[in-house]
């Protein structure tokens, strides 16, 4: 996860960022999403501290691509298009991928988790995407009427009125301000192998991330949610060679994010906080956390505990 030190925040927004207090318990979108998917998985990871994290080339690439694109946008809006378009984005992406790889190798004490071939493949895919973004930047990131207000904007706000000791904590990838419409535009950058299909776009668990950021960003800076738009900026590494229609490596998607949609997510967060935390912010260890495998075992497919029959017996998993 990014740190506050990684953030670039303009002007008055800096003064909306709270300092974390020791007695606060924090949750994130990823925690909320995990709980919504399978409460037992959340309990095992966050209450019991059973973690079997293994990095991947996808994580290395995703983090490095985020940083590279964000550096390009900072230069584009703060210095100018001429300088931004001359940036060595290829070199920056390679450098950032190297940093991420080295970081994880240190954490794993030298245990290999990817190889040179995969690193090179992902790097070449990345520079193709960056070249496309730079050629079409006016379509995706216009400098006319827009200003950059934040990169990795920290979100830190009481998660639910039901518990003042639990805070939503996160970082928003990019925030622009539309000076004509007088609205903030929140972007979340998603790297993907094949892009998002219609089922992924319809998955409320997947698209609720920006609704959560919209809700808490509005509360944090004191504006109405109607004055904030949200967009997923989705990049895909692979384009099918035999496709009948041209497919772009970049797409944008704005989920329904009006007050009813934001209200539904807020209600779900309230339920999470009420069930998983005590009034003092400590974890609720007295209740049962059920395992939900989902249709055709979908939830178990990438779960670290799918083969752990002691902690998550297959017979106890609910559909």
Q: 264-300: per-residue pLDDT in tens?
A: 999 999 999 999 999 999 999 999 999 999 988 999 9
Residue 168 contacts residue 28 (beta carbons within 8 Å): yes
Q: What is the pLDDT of residue 302?
A: 86
Which tens digits make up the pLDDT trace of 64-76? 999 999 999 999 9
For residue 102, what pLDDT is reported?
Answer: 96
Per-residue tokens: 214 = 């919209």
For the stretch 80-100, pLDDT in tens is 999 999 999 999 999 999 999
Task: List the beta strands (DSSP E) in the chain.
Answer: 8-9, 25-27, 146-160, 163-178, 183-192, 228-236, 250-253, 291-292, 317-318
Pairing of β 291-292 and β 8-9 = unpaired
Residue 200: how many CA atoms within 13 Å on its side-chain side?
9
Checking if the pLDDT of 1 tops 50, the result is no
pLDDT in tens, 131-190: 999 999 999 999 999 999 999 999 999 999 989 999 999 999 999 999 999 999 999 999
Q: Which residue in 77, 57, 65 sits closest to 185, CA to CA?
A: 77
The helix/strand/coil state of 97 is helix
Indicate the SS3 state at residue 234: strand
DSSP-derived secondary structure letter, 297: G
Residue 116: count of CB within 10 angstroms of its CB: 7
As given in the structure block, the two tokens for residue 239 are 């384009």
The pLDDT tens digits of the residues spanning 19-75 come to 888 888 999 999 999 999 999 999 999 999 998 788 999 999 999 999 999 999 999
**5 pLDDT tier (thresholds 50, 70, 90):** low
Per-residue pLDDT, averaged over 106-134, amounts to: 96
Closest Cα partner for 275 from 264, 296, 289, 263?
289
Quick one: the chain helix, strand, coil %, rounded to 5?
45, 20, 35
Q: Is the pTM of this model over 0.75?
A: yes
Tally of CB atoms within 10 A around 188: 19
> Mean pLDDT, the chain, as a whole number?
94
Residue 243, pLDDT > 80, answer no
What percent of the chain is predicted at pLDDT more than 70? 98
Residue 9's beta-bridge partner residues?
Answer: 150
Antiparallel, parallel or unpaired: β 163-178 and 146-160:
antiparallel
Residues 6+ apart with CB under 8 A from 85: 134, 137
Task: Express as a percent the part of the chain with pLDDT over 90.
Answer: 84
What is the predicted pLDDT for the residue at 317? Answer: 94
C-alpha span between 290 and 270 (Å, rounded): 18
Taken in order of first residue, the domains within the chain and their CATH numbers are 4-275 (3.90.320.10)
Q: What is the average per-residue pLDDT within 110-118?
A: 94
Q: Which of 15-24, 97-106, 211-220, 304-313 has the lowest mean pLDDT?
A: 15-24
What pLDDT band is residue 3 in, cutting at 50, 70 and 90?
Answer: very low
Q: What is the rounded distance in angstroms from the CA atom of residue 309 to the CA atom of residue 245? A: 46
Quick check: 4 pLDDT over 70?
A: no
Average pLDDT over residues 214-224: 96
- Report the candidate in 201, 202, 199, 219 with the shortest Cα–Cα distance to residue 262: 219
Alpha helices in 203-300 (DSSP H): 204-221, 259-276
């Amino acid at each position: 996860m990014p740190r506050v030190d990684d953030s670039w925040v303009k002007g008055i927004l800096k003064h909306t960022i709270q300092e974390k207090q020791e007695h606060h318990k924090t949750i994130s979108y990823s925690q909320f999403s995990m709980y919504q998917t399978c409460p037992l998985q959340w309990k095992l990871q966050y209450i019991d501290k059973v973690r079997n994290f293994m990095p991947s080339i996808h994580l290395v690439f995703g983090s490095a691509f985020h940083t590279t694109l964000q550096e390009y946008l900072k230069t584009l809006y703060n210095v100018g298009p001429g300088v931004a378009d001359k940036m060595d984005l290829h070199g920056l992406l390679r450098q950032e991928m190297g940093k991420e790889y080295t970081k994880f190798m240190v954490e794993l004490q030298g245990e290999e988790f990817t190889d040179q071939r995969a690193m090179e493949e992902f790097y070449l895919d990345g520079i193709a995407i960056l070249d496309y973004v730079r050629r079409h930047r006016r379509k995706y990131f216009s400098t006319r009427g827009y200003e950059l207000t934040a990169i990795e904007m920290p979100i830190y706000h009481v998660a639910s009125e039901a518990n003042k000791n639990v805070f939503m904590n996160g970082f928003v990838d990019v925030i622009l301000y539309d000076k004509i419409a007088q609205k903030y535009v929140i972007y979340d950058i998603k790297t993907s192998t094949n892009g998002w299909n219609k089922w992924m776009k319809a998955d409320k668990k997947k698209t609720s991330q920006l609704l959560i950021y919209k809700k808490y960003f509005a509360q944090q800076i004191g504006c109405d949610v109607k004055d904030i738009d949200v967009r997923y900026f989705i990049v895909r590494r692979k384009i099918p060679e035999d496709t009948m229609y041209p497919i772009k490596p970049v797409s944008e998607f704005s989920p329904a994010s009006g007050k009813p949609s934001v209200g539904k997510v807020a209600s779900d967060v309230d339920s999470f906080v009420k069930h998983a935390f005590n009034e003092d912010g400590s974890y609720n260890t007295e209740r049962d956390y059920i395992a939900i495998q989902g249709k055709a075992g979908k939830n178990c497919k990438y779960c670290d505990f799918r083969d752990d029959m002691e902690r998550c017996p297959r017979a106890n998993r609910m559909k």
